[in-house]
C-alpha cells in the first residue's frame, strides 16, 4: 500500500467553475490546464463541460473537478445549476474586449446568488498575448478585483502564460481555507461550508465516495 498511489487517489476534491462571457477563452484555459492543449477554433460550449486535474499542494493531492460553462446569456438558466457546491471560481474576461470586462459585475452577482459566500474567486483577464489589442489595462482589472476582494491574474491560454499559476493559486487558497477550518473547529459544519472534505484524509474519501471508481480504493 505504501508508496503506491493510484491515478485517481487524492486527498481533496474541489469543484471549481469557469464563468464569463462567450469567447473569452474559458474552454481553452481548461484544456490548457488539464491537457496542455490549445485550440484556435474551439467550438462554443453548449451547456456545461467538465474536466479534472490533480495538483500537489503542501504534499497533499488536490483533485480539481472543473466545470466549464457556456458563456451566452441564454444558457444562464441551465449553467447556474452547476454552480452549486463549487468552492472556487475563475471569472474570465477578454483583455481585448471591453464588454466582456463590463459584464464581470453581472457574472459576479450570478455567482454570489448561487454559491457559498466563502467561495474563492479569481478574476482572470485572458488573451494577454494580444498585446497590441489590449483594451483593458492591467490596473483596471486589478483595481476591480481588489474592490470586490477577488484574486486577480492575467493569462494567455495561447501562450500558456499564468494558466497553471491561476488554477494552482485558486486551489491552494481553497485548500488553505479548508485545512484552516478543519484545524480551528474540527467539525463538519466548517468543512461543509466551503469544501467537500475536512482535514482527515479518510473522512474526505468517505465524503466523496460517490465520485470514486468502485473498488479502486478500499479504506
Partner 1 sequence: MRNGREGDRGREAGEGSGETPAGNSSLNLEWRFNQTLRNVQGLLKGRTFPGKILLTRKSEPHNDPVSLEPSPELGRSYSENELGSSESINSGSEGSAQVSGDMINNTKLQKTKSSITFGEGSSPDVQRSISEGRSTDSARLTKFTKELSGQTVVLENLRELAWSGIPPYMRPNIWRLLLGYAPPNSDRREGVLARKRREYLECVSLYYDIPDSERSDDEITMLRQIAVDCPRTVPDVTFFQHALVQKSLERILYTWAIRHPASGYVQGINDLVTPFLIVFLSEHLSGNVEDWSISDLSPDKISNVEADCYWCLSKLLDGMQDHYTFAQPGIQRLVFKLKELVRRIDEPVSKHMEEQGLEFLQFAFRWFNCLLIREIPFHLVTRLWDTYLAEGDALPEFLVYIFASFLLTWSDALQKYDFQEMVMFLQHLPTHGWTHQELEMVLSRAYMWHAMFNSSPSHLAS
Chain positions contacting Mg ion, by CB under 5 A: 26-27, 45
Are the C-beta atoms of residues 11 and 204 closer than 8 Å to each other? yes
Q: CB of residue 54 vs ligand GTP: minimum separation in angstroms?
A: 22
Q: Give me the residues that bind ligand GTP (CB under 6 A), please.
A: 22-28, 39-42, 44-45, 70-71, 126-127, 129-130, 156-158
Bridge-based pairing of strands 120-126 and 12-20 is unpaired
* Residues 19, 82 contacting (CB under 8 angstroms): no
Give the DSSP H/E element, type plus range, for residue 63: strand 60-69
| Residue closer to partner 1, measured from CB, 192 or 208 | 208
Angle at 69 between CA 66 and CA 74, to 5 degrees: 165
Q: Does residue 22 belong to the site contacting partner 1 (CB under 8 A)?
A: yes
CB of 24 vs ligand GTP, minimal distance in Å: 4
7 contributes a contact to partner 1 by CB under 8 A = no
Residue 165's binding partner, choosing from Mg ion, partner 1, ligand GTP, none, with beta-carbon cut-off 5 to 8 A by kind?
none
212 binds, among Mg ion, partner 1, ligand GTP, none (CB under 5 to 8 A by kind): partner 1
Least CB distance from residue 57 to partner 1, whole Å?
20
Using only the alpha carbons of the chain, give its radius of gyration.
17
The sign of the CA dihedral 15, 72, 166, 173 is: negative
Rounded to 10°, the helix 163-184/26-35 angle is 80
DSSP string across 124-157: EEE-TT-GGG--S-HHHHHHHHHHTT-EEEE-BT
Which positions from 31 through 70 interact with partner 1, judged by CB under 8 A?
A: 35, 37, 39, 41-44, 46-52, 65, 70
Residue 99 interface partner, choices ligand GTP, Mg ion, partner 1, none, CB cut-off 5-8 Å depending on type? partner 1
Cβ atoms within 10 A of the Cβ of 163, count?
A: 25
Chosen from partner 1, Mg ion, ligand GTP, none, partner binding at 140 (C-beta under 5 to 8 Å by type): none
CA distance 64 to 15: 6
Chain residues that interact with partner 1, rule: CB under 8 A: 22-23, 35, 37, 39, 41-44, 46-52, 65, 70, 72, 74-75, 77-78, 81, 99, 210-214
Amino acid at each position: 500500500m505504501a508508496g503506491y498511489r493510484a491515478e485517481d487517489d487524492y486527498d481533496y476534491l474541489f469543484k471549481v467553475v469557469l464563468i464569463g462571457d462567450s469567447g473569452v477563452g474559458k474552454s481553452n484555459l481548461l484544456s490548457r490546464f488539464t491537457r496542455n492543449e490549445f485550440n484556435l477554433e474551439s467550438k462554443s460550449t453548449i451547456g456545461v463541460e467538465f474536466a479534472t486535474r490533480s495538483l500537489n499542494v503542501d504534499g497533499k493531492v488536490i483533485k480539481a473537478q472543473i466545470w466549464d460553462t457556456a458563456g451566452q446569456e441564454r444558457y444562464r438558466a441551465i449553467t447556474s445549476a452547476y454552480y452549486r457546491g463549487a468552492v472556487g471560481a475563475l471569472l474570465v474576461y477578454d483583455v481585448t474586449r471591453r464588454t466582456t470586462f463590463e459584464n464581470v459585475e453581472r457574472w459576479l452577482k450570478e455567482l454570489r446568488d448561487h454559491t457559498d459566500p466563502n467561495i474563492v474567486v479569481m478574476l482572470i483577464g485572458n488573451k494577454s498575448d494580444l498585446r497590441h489589442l489590449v483594451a483593458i489595462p492591467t490596473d483596471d482589472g486589478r483595481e476591480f478585483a481588489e474592490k470586490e476582494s477577488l484574486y486577480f491574474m492575467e493569462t494567455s491560454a495561447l501562450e500558456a502564460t499564468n494558466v497553471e499559476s491561476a488554477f494552482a493559486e485558486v486551489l491552494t487558497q481553497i485548500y488553505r481555507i479548508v485545512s484552516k477550518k478543519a484545524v480551528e473547529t474540527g467539525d463538519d459544519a466548517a468543512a461543509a461550508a466551503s469544501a467537500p472534505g475536512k482535514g482527515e484524509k479518510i473522512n474526505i474519501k468517505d465524503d466523496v465516495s460517490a465520485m470514486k471508481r468502485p473498488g479502486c480504493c478500499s479504506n
